[in-house]
Amino acid sequence: MNKSTYMQEIRSRIEGVEIGSVFVASDFADITETKRISEYLARLSADNTVKCVMRGVYYKPEYSALLDEYIAPDPDAVANAIARNYGWSIIPCGDTALNLLGLSTQVPAVWSYVSDGPYKQYAYDNTTIQYKHTTNKEISKISLKTALVIQALKTLGKNNIRSETVEKIRTEISSDERKAMLTEAQYATAWIYEVIKTICR
């Protein structure tokens, strides 16, 4: 396969995904070697097929005629792309978990994640993404939704769980997710598991 074919295959894949999708070189590792992919992504950014978020991270941009500028990518998508590039497993925590579950409308000042990777922090534009290393059993070998609920409850604290909190979380999880959550959360802190049982009733 020649260079122009590699380039076209990468461009075609990008054209086939949703606007706002975030990419790293490893997402195209099945096409060619990483060094070439990075070169192709840099060339695609020159014609605004993609835009660079930070070194090695790109997204498929959406232009707002109203704002007369490109809309910034979703920080959660950027955080997941960075983690994907390094092979880290991550779970939103703190205010990030509350925001993603709809328990807070406030945009986090720092987008925070617990991770099985090292402690790292990245900044671009006015956004900061932070990864905190953990070996916590509450995030390993469980689904994203279960881990997200556990982290949200930990952030709120035992004495701040209200009936409306339970109802809001309940609306965010499907019946299949509830079944999985009851099994997966068994080894979480006792009070958290009691709240989860209430949510899943």
The predicted-structure confidence for 10-63, as pLDDT tens digits, reads as follows 999 999 999 999 999 999 999 988 888 989 999 999 888 999 999 999 999 988
Tell me the two tokens of residue 136: 């916590």
Q: What is the per-residue pLDDT across 101-153, written as a single tens digit (0 to 9) for each?
A: 999 988 998 999 999 889 999 999 899 999 999 876 667 788 999 999 999 99
Amino acid at 73: P
Fold of 3-71: Arc Repressor Mutant, subunit A (1.10.10)
| DSSP string over the chain | --HHHHHHHHHHHHHTS-TT-EEEGGGGTTTS-HHHHHHHHHHHHHTTSSEEEETTEEE--EEETTTTEEEPPPHHHHHHHHHHHHT--EEE-HHHHHHHTTS--SPPSSEEEEESS--EEEEETTEEEEEEE---TTTTTS-HHHHHHHHHHHHH-GGG--HHHHHHHHHTS-HHHHHHHHHHGGGS-HHHHHHHHHHT-
- Is the full-model pTM beyond 0.75? yes
Residue 194 has pLDDT above 80, yes or no: yes
The predicted structure's pLDDT at residue 64 = 84
Residues of the chain with CATH 1.10.10.10: 3-71
In contact, 117 and 95? CB cutoff 8 Å: no
